[in-house]
Structure 1
Amino acid sequence: MAFDVASFRAGFPSLTSGIAHFDNPGGTQTPAVVGEAIARTLTGPLSQRGAATLSQRNAEEVVAGFRSAIADLLGGVPGGVVHGRSATALTYDFSRTLAKTWSPGDEVVLCELDHDSNVRPWVQAAERAGVTVRWLRLVPETGELDLSSLDVIGPRTRLVALTAASNLLGTRPPVATVAARAHDVGALVYVDAVHHTAHAAPDITAMGADLVVCSPYKFFGPHCGALVADPALLETLRPDKLVPSTDVVPERFELGTLPYELLAGATAAVDFLASWSPVEANRRERLVAAAADIADHELRLRTRIEAGLADLGDRLTLHSQAAERTSTLFVTLRDRLPVEAYEHLAKQDVLVPAGTFYAYETFRALGLPVDSGLRIGLAAYNDDADVDRLLEGLADFLT
């Protein structure tokens, strides 16, 4: 049965604005059920966590619900789920913690496909620790990961950090292949699944990842981050923390009082996604089934957009060419500035951003100036009418 995009869209009050959102890799719109969960939690009885009163128990239940939901989404276990202010903040926190175990002569391996949040924290930690940074390269013509560059992973490698999907090109590199090579030399694997989770239900075990981060606001939730790892691994890590704060995993990595309302909103976003499953099963299985249906829907729209871009000929170049990729397209224009296209489309309530997208290393590897193109990113609520408006607007701009 085809994905019912009209019913899906009905859950999002903001879509009545008439804006056709293709800015989704930067953050999606939010369904009413998520906003309601946030408001209900924030205005209900709520205190510091405990068991003596309803307000304390509510806080405990929200935290437990968040850990369970994120674990189901990423294929982990609740005891390995850490909340953070953002994926960037979590990566900085864990880079500092992991770097305590590094010594001069060690190496970390990073990837040219990554958002800077999975690059700069590791580069800066490596500089402080006197550790060498090596690179997994991309193939500029295709946007694929250059598998020959896996040779940089060797006996001195302590950590490999890479994306599960490029937020600029959509490329899905073979994470499991990279992880296997890393584990062969005893290195940890840190995976940025922020963009990937918006288009799939990742599986930390299948990826071979040791630590995975995601951001609920990329899949219809509130602005926060989450990290998933094996609790046994987290037990071995010693972050900086306040003396009175608990040393229990995963709480030892969470600084200060948790934003209970955001945790409730993230849980509601996961449940919202699971509710679109075509099968009755446990939540993890429903998330996987719903993600497959949504991916098919997005792929159909992506194929329409690609055909429309091809009709515009050499006036633009589509750089998203990898065989395995999300429904995210990066294009450059031959004779026009991307910001002019963005402004032209915005006047028609079609939102296609131009910018750096924090993909500095990817731009460099492509041989392109930073801020040199447009990113067209699909989400489950996009429909054929959105695509029509996008293609008509681009054709009008380039005429």
Structure 2
Amino acid sequence: MGYDVARIRSGFPSLASGWAHFDGPGGTQTPRAVGDAIAAVLTGPLSNRGSTGESERNAEAAVHGFRTAMGELLNVHPRGIVHGRSATQLAYDFSRHLAKDWGPGDEVIVTRLDHDSNIRPWVQAAERVGATVRWADFDPDTGELPVEAVAGLLTERTRLVAVTAASNLIGTIPDVAAIASAAHDAGALVYADGVHATAHELPDLASLGADFFSCSPYKFLGPHCGVLAARPDLLESISPDKLLASTNAVPERFEFGTLPYEQLAGVTAAVEVLAAFVAPSSTGIASIDALHADAAGSRRARLVASYRALHAHERRLLARLEGGLADLPGVTVHSRAARRTPTLLLTFAGRAASDVTARLAEERVLAPSSHFYALEASRRLGLGDEGGLRVGLAPYTDDDDVERLLAGLAAALA
């Protein structure tokens, strides 16, 4: 069965609003199956984790299901999956954990392509201990971050390289594997921000080569939270500050307080929705029961097939969108890298991007304008702190959405 976008859209109650959503890079719409999974755990028998009663076992099952599902999505052992409130919070946490071993003379590399959540925590941690921050630049004309831009900064004193797996502003997908290889040769760790990438490219921590990989399920159909993945043995080597009575087991030693079990169940359901894009039947993705009915074969294998189909769907729509944009006067597309996600940053001659966003909203087309916290990238592109209008494709985007966007842009620019 191929990629049936109508079938996929049927699982998203919010799409009945009539809005065409191009705001996916900031957070996707949520399928009914995810909301049902959250409600089922939250309103069912639920206590703190344990094995005595059903309510305790339900909490245990939610945690186990979450770690298993995210482990299969990211291709990492479940013991390497850490839950956090957000990817930003996780970056701040781990910057503090790792900086305990840094000092004057040590070096950290960040890039101007990254979201600020993968820049500022490392910059601030380095400043606190007197370490040096080195900046890797990208080419504003092409949007590319060459491997050499990072590798050329590495020394024997480099402790960590922070790099995005895909730019949330212009979609650029750097060669993280090559960057990680060079960093490891220099004895440095690599922290990859996969928040934007995970929505479009199926991650594989082993082949990517990064030591740490963060993502946010609400960018790929799930609830608002953050996830960090790493090898369990690497996590074992890191000692966070924690409460005396809390466990020292990995990954729980990094998760402070009681986990939100209902949220974990929602993440598990989101991964199952992703794995059901290419399904053996036409039952849709509207319910948990439908997902279970279609869950044939290993989830990782189904994820591989689903992402392959999603990639083809998004590439086709992106080609149609870019062709239409080329016919519009005064539009500059800043997303130009050879390998990138279906995310476009646009500016307009003589018009503020925010004004175009407002005009599109009159047609119930949502395409926000901002720097989207990729402040360094926006400034490097010459867009200052205003940024541009960002268009992002999502699994539920269809041809009608694209035509409505193009028509809205044409009207706004007329």
TM-score range, shorter chain: over 0.9
Q: Which amino acid aligns with 2:8?
A: F
Q: What does residue 161 of structure 1 align with? A: 162
Further displaced range: 251-260 or 367-376 = 367-376
* Paired residues, number: 398
What pairs with 1:305-320 in structure 2 (closer than 5 Å)? 305-313=321-329, 315-320=330-335
Q: Who is 1:289 aligned against?
A: 305
The superposition leaves residues 129-177 of structure 1 with CA deviations (integer Å, 9 ceiling, x where unpaired) of 1111112211111100033322001211000011100000000000000
1:384 aligns with: 399
Residue of structure 2 in register with 1:267 after alignment: 268
Amino acid at match of 2:219: K
Deviation at 1:305, TM superposition (A): 0.8
Q: Distance in 2 between matches of 1:102 and 1:214?
A: 25
* Structure 1 runs of 4+ with >6 Å offset: none
Q: Which residue is 2:180 aligned to?
A: 179
Alignment match, 2:191: 190
SS state of the match for residue 223, structure 1? coil
| Contact kept? 1:278, 1:289, Cα under 8 Å | no
**SS in structure 1 at match of 2:370:** coil
**AA paired with 2:199?**
A
What does residue range 4-83 of structure 1 map to in structure 2 within 5 Å?
Answer: 4-83=4-83
Q: Does 1:304 align with 2:302?
A: no
Q: How far apart, in 2, do the equivalents of 1:234 and 1:154 lie?
A: 24
What does residue range 340-351 of structure 1 map to in structure 2 within 5 Å? 340-351=355-366
- Higher mean displacement: 270-279 or 3-12: 270-279
User: Which runs of no fewer than 5 residues in structure 1 stay unpaired?
Assistant: none
Contact 1:25–1:167 (CA<8 Å) still a contact in 2?
A: yes
365-374 or 13-22: which moved more? 365-374
Aligned to 2:385: 370
Structure 2 gap segments, 5+ residues each:
281-295
Q: Which secondary structure does the structure 2 equivalent of 1:271 belong to?
A: helix
Q: Which amino acid letter does the alignment assign opposite residue 195 of structure 2?
A: V
Measured against aligned partners, the alpha-carbon deviations of 1:39-64 in whole angstroms (never above 9, x if no partner) come to 00000000000000000010001000
How many Å apart are 1:241 and its aligned residue?
0.7
Structure 1 counterpart of 2:208: 207
CA contact (8 A) 1:136 1:146 kept: no
The whole-number CA distance in structure 2 between the counterparts of 1:335 and 1:364 is 19
Output aligned runs, 1:105-120, within 5 Å: 105-120=105-120
SS of the equivalent of 1:292 reads helix
Aligned partners of 2:304, 2:381: CA distance in 1, in Å? 33
Q: How far apart are 1:240 and its partner, in Å?
A: 1.0
Q: Which amino acid aligns with 1:62?
A: A
* 1:121 partnered with 2:121: yes
Separation (CA, whole Å) in 2 of partners of 1:382 and 1:52: 46
Using the size of structure 2 for normalisation, the TM-score is: 0.95
Amino acid at match of 1:186: G
- Letter of the aligned partner of 1:297 in structure 2? H
How far 1:369 moved relative to its partner? Answer: 1.3
- Is residue 2–residue 278 contact of structure 2 (8 Å, CA) maintained in 1? no
Measure how far apart 1:368 and its partner are: 2.0
CA displacement at 1:278 relative to structure 2? 5.5
Tell me which residue corresponds to 2:240: 239
CA distance in 2, matches of 1:277, 1:242: 45
Q: In 1, Cα distance between the equivalents of 2:387 and 2:373?
A: 12
Work out whether residues 39 and 261 of structure 1, in 8 Å CA contact, stay in contact via their aligned partners in 2: yes
How much does 1:276 deviate?
A: 1.9
Distance 2:271 2:202 in 1: 10
Please tell me whether the aligned partners of residues 147 and 175 of structure 2 are also in contact (alpha carbons under 8 angstroms). Answer: no
| 326-335 or 139-148, larger mean C-alpha shift | 139-148
Partners of 1:277 and 1:208 in 2: CA distance: 28
Is 1:224 the equivalent of 2:225? Answer: yes
